[in-house]
Amino acid sequence: MSNIHSTILGPAITEKNTALKNSQNKYVFEVQPKATKVEIRQAVEKLFGVKVISVNTMVVKGKKKRTGRNIGHRSDRKKAIVRLEAGQSISQFGEA
Domain residue spans in the chain? 4-64+72-86
3-class secondary-structure state, position 69: coil
Report how far residue 34's alpha carbon sits from residue 5's, in angstroms, rounded to the nearest whole number.
14
Predicted TM-score (pTM) of the model is 0.86
Mean pLDDT over 25-51 rounds to: 95
DSSP helix/strand/coil, 18: helix
4-64+72-86 belongs to which CATH class? alpha beta
Q: What angle do CA 58, 70, 12 make, to 5 degrees?
A: 25
Instruction: Taking residues 24-50, report their average pLDDT.
Output: 95
Residue 81 to residues 3, 67, 73, 88: CA-CA distances in angstroms? 20, 33, 25, 15
Contacts of residue 13, Cβ cutoff 8 Å, sequence gap at least 6: 93, 94
Question: What is the average pLDDT across 4-21?
Answer: 92
